[in-house]
Structure 1
Amino acid sequence: MGTVNPEIPRHQIRARYTDTTVTVHQTYSPRLGLPAAREGRFPAAWKRGRMTWIKPSFLWMMYRCGWGLKQDQETVLAVEITREGFEWALRHACLSHYTSDVHTDRDAWKRELAAAPARVQWDPERDLHLRPLEHRSLQLGLAGEASTRYADEWIVSITDATPTARAVHDLVRGGDLEGAAALLPDERPYPDVPGLLDHLRPGGAA
């Protein structure tokens, strides 16, 4: 059971962002990740036709990739994209799982999912020990038009965040949680844009 923090809504986007950009995270093998960080764009070997998942939460990404130690996930990327593109994806996304709070019925959800260029799932956020918390972390899957726009239009910069992942992991293993927390990206609640998440929050706004 995760830790409950009543001050954090169960379904809320938290991210590092500026007035015009938002940073998301992905992991790749070095053969894809290193050229992407070096060139600021994905190499030709990156497949635009595949579903690609982006995660605003650094610690959820660390949970997924095991601090960048899992095979083919050794390179941690911080991808800065336009907020305009990020919000376009959210407005055109469908929840990855059926929920009666949002969808009329399962058939309606299946039709929406098949047509949507993006999908959203909410997974438990993680603490520094990568233990699950009660509030959720946004995972945004991009396919088709959304994947192409992401690669060709939305990306502002790509940074190799692997050294940060290694440093935070070393401090956590050494018991210095305060030091580890100080190295984390400054992830804040994303601005509450009217209508942005209404169709993506199971149970309403909570």
Structure 2
Amino acid sequence: MPSTYEIRADFDSQSIVVYQAYPEQIALAAIKNQTFEAPFSFTRMTWIKPSFLWLMERSNWAQKSGQEHILAIRISRAGWEKALQEGVLTSPEKRVYSDGQIWRELFEQAKVHIQWDPERSLRGQKLDYSSIQVGISRYLIEEFVREWILEIKDYTPLTRKVHNLCKAGKYEQAKRFLPSEKRYELSDKLKKQIGAS
């Protein structure tokens, strides 16, 4: 079983895939232009998630309002690791911060927010280990959009296919279509900073 707090993702030596859910107007433009443009907001935090199934839980398999399209966004590993290096957890976890005041000061200045949430199974059950989500603030969004993004794919058809198989009770078949996610190794310093195992 995976460690309690570890990053699992679809990645190679240069890039990593993160997932987001958007309404049609933003998603179709992003797929066409291979980057984000208005009405995508450059002034609010955008959350990226390397776990496909966690986003399925969050978006209810692309059925929530405003989350009907699932994008697989391949970004540079350099950008991803910069985001992690800038990251501060969204709560004062004792395994990371010795003092709540220290956390508060760091959090108020953070360009990136990091949160660990229970990973999900194909059936939507909470698992005994966590998945990371990374919130990129307005101070880094331009860099994320202009420099980190390498490719944007539409995973909405895949999402519907897997969801329909699950609804039919064909979980083993559905599992074969899931993106391949493996452990993403981090330096000891970065592990400690973001509370990874």
Match of 2:118 in 1: 124
Quote how far apart the aligned CAs of 1:17 are. Answer: 0.3
Q: Is the 8 A contact 1:91 1:197 kept in 2?
A: no
CA displacement at 1:138 relative to structure 2: 0.3
8 A contact 1:90–1:196 mirrored in 2: yes
Contact kept in structure 1, 2:26 and 2:38, CA below 8 Å: no
Deviation at 1:145, TM superposition (A): 2.7
What amino acid maps onto 1:52 in structure 2?
T
Q: Which runs of 5+ in 1 are unaligned?
A: 1-6
Match of 1:87 in 2: 81
How much does 1:84 deviate? 0.3
Q: Paired residue for 1:36, among 25, 30, 35?
A: 30
10-19 or 144-153, larger mean C-alpha shift: 144-153
After TM superposition, the score normalised by the length of structure 1 is 0.92
Alpha-carbon distance in 1 for matches of 2:139, 2:80? 13
For 1:3, the equivalent position in structure 2 comes to none
Aligned-partner SS, 2:131: strand
Amino acid corresponding to residue 123 of structure 1 in structure 2 = D
Aligned amino acid, residue 75 of structure 1: H
The alignment yields a C-alpha RMSD, in angstroms, of 1.1
Structure 2 alignment gaps of length 5 or more = none
Deviation at residue 38 of structure 1 after TM alignment: 1.4
Shift of 1:77: 0.4
Return the alpha-carbon distance in structure 1 between the equivalents of residues 171 and 112 of structure 2.
35
Match of 1:26 in 2: 20
Query: What amino acid does structure 1 have at the position aligned with 2:133?
Result: Q
Residue 144 of structure 2 aligns to a residue whose secondary structure is helix
Shift of 1:114: 1.2
Structure 1 residues 171-204: Cα deviation after superposition (integer angstroms, max 9, x where no partner): 1111111111110001110123342221111xxx
Q: Which of these residues, 129, 140, 143, is aligned with residue 146 of structure 1?
A: 140
Determine which of 105, 109, 114 is the counterpart of 1:115.
Answer: 109
Provide the C-alpha distance between the structure 2 equivalents of 1:51 and 1:147, rounded to a whole number of angstroms.
8
Contact 2:23–2:67 under 8 Å retained in 1? yes
User: Deviations along 1:74-125, whole A, 9 cap, x unmatched?
Assistant: 0100000000000011011000111222113222111101111101110000
Matched, 1:178 2:172: yes
Q: Distance in 2 between matches of 1:18 and 1:51?
A: 26
Alignment length (residue pairs): 197
The residue type equivalent to 2:180 in the other structure is D
Residue 165 of structure 1 corresponds to 159
Distance 1:85 1:145 in 2: 14
**Aligned letter for 1:121?**
Q
Query: 1:124 touches 1:136 (CA, 8 Å); kept in 2?
Result: yes
Once residues 134 and 101 of structure 1 are traced to their aligned partners in structure 2, the CA distance between those partners, rounded to angstroms, is: 18
> TM-score normalised to the size of structure 2?
0.96
Runs of 4+ off more than 6 Å: none
State the identity as a percent: 36
